[in-house]
Structure 1
Amino acid sequence: MRSPLYYLLPVMGGYAVTSYYLLKNPHLLHKKKKLPFYCRHISHRGGAGERIENTLEAFDNAMSNHTDLLELDCHITKDGKVVVSHDLNLLRQTGHDVSICDITYEELPLYREHLEVTFFPGHYSSGSDRRFPLLEEVFQRFPHMPINVEIKEETPELVKKVSDLVKRYQRSERTIWASEKDPVMKLCQEENPDMPIMFTARRGLMLLLLFYTGLLPFVPLRESVLETYMPSIINRTYFPHSRIMRNRFLVFLQEKLMMRKGLFQHLQARGIQVYLWVLNQDSDYQRALESGADGIMTDYPSKLRCFLQRHEGAQRAGSGARGPVTADRQGSSY
């Protein structure tokens, strides 16, 4: 009687060959996504290392440095205004222990004069603009600029108002729904399914599982963007709250599992862009490019622009999303 391996090995061998072939040729099963923008240079919170984070001054500075994508966060005030702010509680940003949802827009305090850069501890930013802007102001000021809007809390009113603003300014294709949480992303998709979405934390883990089991080439993906941290920045410029995440072996393991050029190339062949965050040193920029990532998210727009000009040439540095110069691109030069 023949061993089960006699039958199993050919099946497994056939599966491995088919999986590898489709990994390299995903167009055979999946229609390639087509985002109307390509992002190499991404400004985290508008460039939190060079101006006060998430202010109009920060966004202006990012634009002057030819950014391809503005990354920002939103919360809603007591009187229903959609405010651009990373934190819900304002203690870190302003020194006032109050939550945005508990006060009106007019009651919002100003940012601190000097604000520590979250992803570069010990470094501080400052600027003349310390006011929290409305999301609508950002849309009005930069009508053609791709913007990544992160929603942190499961707040239906906030999601609806963000969606309404996106629709009012006709920028669904140029605005990314971003959230690490599945329930929030589900809410966002239901409210405006025309906006591209990123992988949530759980979906990101699922992506890795599918990749290492060989199932990824067979599975459809609804996401258009993968935004993930680069593990090598942990314990240098990024210090997760969880002590487990800071374990050196786990950092090493994450680097080996996540920074896979084969994975990134497969996603890119399916039209899914890969962005790595939040990188603030030239060595990290270099590592991101070597890994095959599309975009680099940074707190230092001018620093990243100089790096890309040195490594890719002036014409390619931060030029992915640009078309004709419009009102929201004044001040940019090539």
Structure 2
Amino acid sequence: MLVMRSIVFHDGSVDLQQMRYVVAVAETASFTRAAERCHVVQSALSHQVARLEKDLGARLFERTSRRVRLTVAGEAFLPAARQALEAAERARAEVAAATGEIQGRLTVGTIPTVAAVDLPTVLRDYRRRYPQVRISLRTAASERLIEQVRDGALDAAFLGVQPGFRPQGVNDRQLAYGEHVAVVAPDHPLAGEREVGLPRLAEEVFVDFAAGSAARAQSDDAFTAAGLRREVAFEAGVDLMARLIRLGLGVALLPAVFAAGLHGLRCVPVRDGPVRVERLVWSRFTPSPAAAAFLALLDVSGADSNPLRP
């Protein structure tokens, strides 16, 4: 098979298995856990890492009875090891694709409140079509997701950003444009209102996302533009946010489509409230066969943008 088997140095070689062992030890900070992950006995893994260190002429790990951590040489070696493993996996995937089989790895990122697509269903359909592909899903803020796509750590990601925002260094496509609603407990005084304005909401205590995030900025900017100040007493993720609201500790502004799915809460339309654009981003480099199949499932062409609303 056309895959890279080793990288030759002046005094030895590094094979892919040794690289896998080094990456596993670095990520688990343990030879024992790394051996379990790689399905080998610890003595065999330790022997191969020691052999690699001898060939390289440098220690990759500092070992004590209490911890394992990378040395300066290990820190330098790790990114190259990961790139080599990714290149080998990509080579296998390309060969398989040439024979009509999609395999390899697909890593997708998303914001917690994605609503433009039913992501679990999309991933289920993808797995049914391409069972040989290993799928990973990561959740993070939009800013971090853009960085990870740009750096190659993610194949694609779903963002929630303000209108007019265009991520740099990646391909992107607009998926949805929606308004926020006020999310309150069922017994909250606003629960029965047909509509609420920002001045009235500014009197409430808020639950919101972390300061500085794109999700938080959408609400912050709306109040600032209206010349209003509000109190954000609780910063939390979506699950904890919903519980805090349900217990009457605060209210929130969330995308209407997403908020409608939160059990046991009331959604109130907001006059002149914040809006959010959901975007899909993916790498500007040629996608792997697994990533290309995912983009095709989403009906994404090579177009840089396909806005649904001007």
With the length of structure 2 as denominator, give the TM-score of the two structures.
0.21
Higher relative contact order (CA 8 A, sep 6+): 1
Please state which structure has a larger fraction of its residues in strand.
2
Structure exhibiting the larger radius of gyration computed from Cα positions: 2
